Amino acid sequence: MNIGLLGFGTIGSSFYRLTLNQEGFCVKTLLSRREREGLSCQVVYSFDEILNDPEIDTVVELIGGMHPAFDYIYAALNAKKHVVTANKMVVCAHYKELISLAEQNGVCLRCTAAAGGGIPWLPSINRAAAMDRLDAVEGILNGTTNYMLSEMTARGADYSELLREAQELGYAEADPTDDVEGFDTRRKLVLSANLAFDISVNEQDVPCEGISTLSSEDIAWAKERNLVFKLSARAERHGSGISAYVCPTLFPSATTEAQTNDIYNLVSLYAEHIGKQSFFGAGAGDYPTASNVLADCMEIKRGCPPFYNDHSLDDCGIDNAGTEGPWLFRANGTYTVRCLSVANAFYVLSKLRGIDSTALLAKLPYTVEV
Ligand SMILES: NC(=O)c1ccc[n+]([C@@H]2O[C@H](COP(=O)([O-])OP(=O)(O)OC[C@H]3O[C@@H](n4cnc5c(N)ncnc54)[C@H](OP(=O)(O)O)[C@@H]3O)[C@@H](O)[C@H]2O)c1
């Protein structure tokens, strides 16, 4: 496999180093914005040099962001080159379009590292969905917020102190919005739900609440009740529709979810015959993530189908009006618990935000005394 590599940051440089020990996988050309010395590949500054090189059969996109990453992926597929990417933003926003473009051109598009980092989560969903009926996918999908919540729980530290610390450690970006407001988690949930249910979900349709209003008092409130806050995402079938949401969720402290700490991810699928299967591991980081990028390249070399399975994708609106469950609200310092549908819980939160901009919503495992 002759690879055109786009980007030489955390994941791109690790992927490059992994290929050095892999027979049959050669980074022929790197697209860079700056000079790079000491590499065994050619370094170019224009994507056209990769696009127009007939010897390059696979483009590995590790630039991140929407543009120019989307444009490069689109052009590469059109030029009948396989594409491997870790870019959840692009694949989530252009899922259906990119899959059909790959199919039309008889090439593969793979993005295992886009959800779950180093965990082979998307291929596991695909494998399960091929033989069983998936009922739900859920999990802790963002390492940054999980680190912050774990430390808030362990040390009773404040949200803003932990955010600063996560930024110093390189876990959180200078602009942490995508992580702390749950948008990164939502993109990973959309990719998971699309594969699990053979649908195409618009990410804006999934209600999303992050952790930025969570206080050390909330953490202490939960601790007194043997509960632990995690930022969790869930998509499930109900009737003929799909429910999906992202929000802070309380787990009993003895559960695996509550004990998933630091930057780790824990994702689970629920299927009719398999039951629950969970996957735990590094949800981010250089070599774990780059390993999944390399694994995708290997799958392509083995002759995998254009995406993870054959698709007849339906555009799918989200219906959160169905199943009811207990929710925790906090506004003006007062906690309440109410049994509501997901749609109604998010509606109540929007009303509470009108009287208290720091109002909190969290999913509860069972009704608790307040
Ligand atoms: N980091 C993780 O743990 C992780 C986990 C899962 C998925 N991902 C995904 O992996 C992708 C890469 O993430 P990363 O953490 O490796 O990012 P990063 O460290 O910021 O690296 C990005 C690289 O892309 C280069 N780049 C940016 N725009 C470019 C352009 N227009 N032309 C050429 N090169 C360009 C940058 O160049 P300079 O060196 O010149 O700045 C840098 O080398 C993203 O989609 C991210 O969401 C990351």
pLDDT in tens, 207-264: 999 999 999 999 999 999 999 999 999 999 988 799 999 999 999 999 999 999 999 9
Q: Provide φ and ψ at 266, rounded to 5°.
A: -135, 120
Residue range 304-323: average pLDDT? Answer: 82
Of residues 28, 81, 88, 188, which has the active-site annotation? 188
Residue appearing with tokens 């202490």? 220
The atom number, within ligand 1, closest to the CA of 63 reads 24
Mean pLDDT over all residues of the chain?
95
Question: How big is the CA angle at 230 (ends 225 and 277), to the nearest 5 degrees?
Answer: 105
- Tell me the C-alpha distance between 36 and 5, whole Å: 13
Kindly state the tokens that stand for 185.
């988690």
Model pTM greater than 0.95? yes
Q: Whose CA is nearest to atom 8 of ligand 1?
A: 86
Kindly state the tokens that stand for 206.
């999934």
What is the pLDDT at residue 83? 98
**169 pLDDT tier (thresholds 50, 70, 90):** confident
Strands 360-363, 324-331: pairing kind: antiparallel
What CATH number is given for 2-110 in this structure? 3.40.50.720
* Residue of 5, 6, 10 to mutate, ligand 1, most atoms within 8 A of C-beta: 10
Q: Whose CA is nearest to atom 20 of ligand 1?
A: 9
Q: By three-state DSSP, how is residue 336 classified?
A: strand
How far does residue 13's CA lie from ligand 1's centre (Å)? 9
The atom number, within ligand 1, closest to the CA of 65 reads 45
Residue range 268-279: average pLDDT? Answer: 97
Kindly state the tokens that stand for 218.
């909330």
- Tell me the C-alpha distance between 146 and 214, whole Å: 13
* Residue of 61, 92, 289 to mutate, ligand 1, most atoms within 8 A of C-beta: 289
**130 pLDDT tier (thresholds 50, 70, 90):** very high
Residue appearing with tokens 């917020």? 145
Strands 324-331, 334-341: pairing kind: antiparallel
Q: Residue 323 burial by CB count (10 A; 0-12/13-18/19+): exposed, middle or buried?
A: exposed
Q: How confident is the model over 318-332, as pLDDT tens digits?
A: 999 988 999 999 999
pLDDT higher than threshold 80 for residue 305: no
The atom number, within ligand 1, closest to the CA of 87 reads 45
The atom number, within ligand 1, closest to the CA of 143 reads 3
Q: How far apart are the first and last CA of the chain?
A: 60
**28 pLDDT tier (thresholds 50, 70, 90):** very high
Q: Residue 81 burial by CB count (10 A; 0-12/13-18/19+): exposed, middle or buried?
A: buried
**174 pLDDT tier (thresholds 50, 70, 90):** confident
How far does residue 60's CA lie from ligand 1's centre (Å)? 11
Residue 91 in contact with residue 258, Cβ under 8 Å?
no
The domain ranges of the chain are 2-110, 121-283+316-363
pLDDT higher than threshold 80 for residue 309: no
Q: How confident is the model over 53-66, as pLDDT tens digits?
A: 999 999 999 999 99
What is the pLDDT at residue 307? 74
Question: Which residues' Cβ are closer than 6 Å to ligand 1?
Answer: 7-12, 31-34, 62-64, 68, 86-88, 113, 117, 284-285, 289
- Tell me the C-alpha distance between 107 and 81, whole Å: 6
Higher model confidence: residue 310 or residue 353? Answer: 353
DSSP H stretches of helix in 264-369:
286-301, 342-355
How far does residue 34's CA lie from ligand 1's centre (Å)? 13
Active site residue 88: no
- Tell me the C-alpha distance between 233 and 98, whole Å: 24
What is the pLDDT at residue 323? 86
- Tell me the C-alpha distance between 214 and 193, whole Å: 27
Kindly state the tokens that stand for 73.
């992926």
What is the pLDDT at residue 313? 81
In Å, what is the CA distance from 125 to each residue of 77, 143, 273, 284?
24, 20, 14, 19
Burial 280-305 (b: 16+ CB within 10 A, else e): bbbbbbbbbbbbbbbbbbebbeeebe
Q: Which amino acid is at 141?
A: L
What is the pLDDT at residue 351? 98
How far does residue 254's CA lie from ligand 1's centre (Å)? 37
How far does residue 263's CA lie from ligand 1's centre (Å)? 19
Q: Whose CA is nearest to atom 4 of ligand 1?
A: 284
Q: Nearest-CA neighbor of 48 among 103, 6, 91, 108?
A: 6
Q: How confident is the model over 68-114, as pLDDT tens digits?
A: 999 999 999 999 999 999 999 999 999 999 999 999 999 999 999 99
64 alpha-carbon distance from chain centroid = 13
- Tell me the C-alpha distance between 324 and 125, whole Å: 26
Q: Which amino acid is at 262?
A: D
pLDDT higher than threshold 90 for residue 172: no
For 121-283+316-363, the fitting CATH number among 3.40.50.2000, 3.30.360.10, 3.40.50.450, 3.30.420.40 is 3.30.360.10
Do 121-283+316-363 and 2-110 fall under one CATH topology?
A: no
Residue appearing with tokens 């530290």? 157
Rounded-to-5 percentages of helix, strand, coil across the chain: 40, 25, 35
pLDDT higher than threshold 80 for residue 308: no
- Work out whether the CA dihedral 362, 209, 85, 106 comes out positive or negative: positive
